Amino acid sequence: MAANLIDGRAISAQILAELGARVAALKFRGVQPGLAFVRVGEDPASKVYVGRKEKISQELGIHSETHVLPEATSEADLLKLIHQLNVDTRLHGILVQAPLPRQIRQEVVYATVLPSKDVDGFHPVNVGKLMLGDTDGFQPCTPAGVRELLIRSQVKTDGAEVVVLGRGNIVGKPMAAMLCQKGSHANSTVTICHSATRHIKDHCLRADIIIAAMGVAEFLKADMVKPGAVVMDVGVNRVPDAASKSGTKLVGDVAFAEVQPIAGKITPNPGGVGPMTIAMLMSNTVRAAEMATR
């Protein structure tokens, strides 16, 4: 692997090994962490994502169970299931896989999961704690994974100019909130850029760290990155590819081949941020079990 690549697979493996020891300690006390997955419909990508999370749970010794509901499930029926999972003492975490069918309001679902079991970090209470700098809450897994990559790759964030490309509730906003907090491994000056940002290239060229999470294939080009900047690619975009058997391929938000020679450090895609999202989900679940048994 090239010297400037941030290896998300290797770092996630380190985290999972650390979590394995914590799971073993909980089991020694008679506690097995438990995680429930809820999937509505048969979206192919959702099936793959949940399958990966189930596999890692099993490898760590976390009890996991998956509830699959039909595409036509009503919001009321989904909320009824969540209420049942909320009171199940075997379960310390609940993850409702997105996307949800259009008849179900995502924000209502996230607000129904108990904050103490919200290992996705999307409940309004946990979002509020993140904004306030209260570390007792659960943080969204993808931005938490990006921050962990920065920490373990010894990227200095204190005083750094950070540009977050994207203002979404899942990555962009929480990422900015994490890095602008007063504290260790944060303390950055953060600019959020989005589709209405003027002179976006100028913002990027000032950045010591760029976190690309716009959902636009290969948006970040070489002429937008100053030499030595750290580039974190969160994007997952499917684009046409005549050479592929499926006719498509997955690319990130960064034009990797042209940006890598310029960047001081850069995440590959795949193999960068993706593995960290699952690792941080497992971390939140283990911590939820530890908190429930204090």
Q: Which are the catalytic amino acids?
A: 53, 97, 120
Which residue type does 227 have?
A: P
Question: 230 near 211, Cβ under 8 Å?
Answer: no
CB 144 within 8 A of CB 130: no
Count of all residues that appear for the chain in the document = 294
Compute the distance between CA of residue 100 and CA of residue 91 in angstroms, rounded to an integer.
22
Q: Which of 201, 203, 202 is nearest to 191 (CA)?
A: 203
Q: For residues 88 and 63, is the Cβ–Cβ distance under 8 A?
A: no
Residue 79 tokens, joined = 């909320």
Alpha carbon distances (Å) from 31 to 27, 92, 194: 5, 10, 44
SS3 250: strand
Is the preceding peptide bond at 143 cis, omega within 30 degrees of 0?
Answer: no
Query: Pairing between strand 189-193 and 161-165?
Result: parallel
> What phi and psi, each to the nearest 5 degrees, are found at residue 67?
-110, 120
- Where are the alpha helices (H) located in 123-233, listed in sequence order? 124-132, 141-152, 172-180, 200-206
